[in-house]
Chains A and B, each alone.
Chain A
Amino acid sequence: ETGVTQTPRHLVMGMTNKKSLKCEQHLGHNAMYWYKQSAKKPLELMFVYNFKEQTENNSVPSRFSPECPNSSHLFLHLHTLQPEDSALYLCASSRDRAVRTDEAFFGQGTRLTVV
């Protein structure tokens, strides 16, 4: 238990559906991250939020829409996804994005399957 909780753990959705992934931490951290983990590929950083402001968007398609209403919660809104978007989506948090020595804590991930 890392203190970062992701829901749901598993999600199956059709290509025309709209769904959201949720990440929650009560570690007092101010930075939150979304990563995508696909089979046979390195983990890819998708988005970074620091103090509720988005600081990085690594060329992620617009069908993925992040939202960070406060420092404890991070959402990933999904719509009109493709089968190749099926992956494990990991959330992480750290005290401050700018501090390199701050340890990041990862959630257990949401296994997304797009059918």
Chain B
Amino acid sequence: AQSVTQPDIHITVSEGASLELRCNYSYGATPYLFWYVQSPGQGLQLLLKYFSGDTLVQGIKGFEAEFKRSQSSFNLRKPSVHWSDAAEYFCAVGADGGSQGNLIFGKGTKLSVKP
């Protein structure tokens, strides 16, 4: 069965520091992978996605993610975190036969940013 694991429930980083949020997936075929961000009281915003091709994908707000098939991972990175990045981040995999609306999500990682 498809599943997504985000091992870190809560991460705190200092402003200006680098960030890496971990995501591992379980999927039989080539996965469609996504990272979403949710600010408090808001819906989900797509940060980036991977379908095929270059395994390093660039997204909005300076985020990038790298697909590593051998590790079943799709970790999200940002070289320098800003206070406005404080939010909850969700990794997701596209369910079989479905569009990006038909997704299986991880439990999320809450990011706090220290001044």
A41, A45, A108: the one within 8 Å of B103 (CB)? A45
A88 to B12, CA, bound (A): 24
A24 to B28, CA, bound (A): 35
- A residues bordering B, Cβ < 8 Å? 2, 4, 6, 31-33, 40-43, 45, 48, 56, 90, 92-104, 106-109, 111
Which residues in B have their C-beta under 8 angstroms from that of A108? 41-43
Interface Cβ pair total, 8 Å cutoff: 79
Known: A42-B105, A42-B106, A43-B105. A100 touches B43 (CB 8 A): no
A31 to B27, CA, bound (A): 24
A90, A97, A106, A109: the one within 8 Å of B102 (CB)? A97
B44 at the interface (CB under 8 A from A): yes
Q: Across the interface, do A100 and B101 meet the contact criterion of CB distance under 8 Å?
A: no
B: interface residue count bin: 20 to 34
Binds A, one of B14-22, B71-79, B91-99: B91-99
Q: Across the interface, do B99 and A95 meet the contact criterion of CB distance under 8 Å?
A: yes
Q: Across the interface, do A48 and B102 meet the contact criterion of CB distance under 8 Å?
A: yes
B100 at the interface (CB under 8 A from A): yes
Q: Across the interface, do B99 and A43 meet the contact criterion of CB distance under 8 Å?
A: no
Q: Across the interface, do A31 and B45 meet the contact criterion of CB distance under 8 Å?
A: no
Those of B33-78 within 8 Å (CB) of chain A:
36, 41-46, 49, 51
A59 to B15, CA, bound (A): 43
A55 to B4, CA, bound (A): 23
Known: A101-B51, A107-B43, A108-B41. A42 touches B107 (CB 8 A): yes
Which residues in B have their C-beta under 8 angstroms from that of A93? 101
**Which residue of chain B lies nearest to A44 when distances are taken between CB atoms in the complex?**
B105
> Most B CB atoms within 10 A — which of A45, A99, A107?
A45
The 4 closest A-B pairs by CB, nearest first: A104-B101, A106-B43, A104-B100, A106-B44
Q: Across the interface, do A103 and B105 meet the contact criterion of CB distance under 8 Å?
A: no
A96 to B102, CA, bound (A): 11
Q: Across the interface, do B101 and A43 meet the contact criterion of CB distance under 8 Å?
A: no
Q: Across the interface, do B51 and A98 meet the contact criterion of CB distance under 8 Å?
A: no
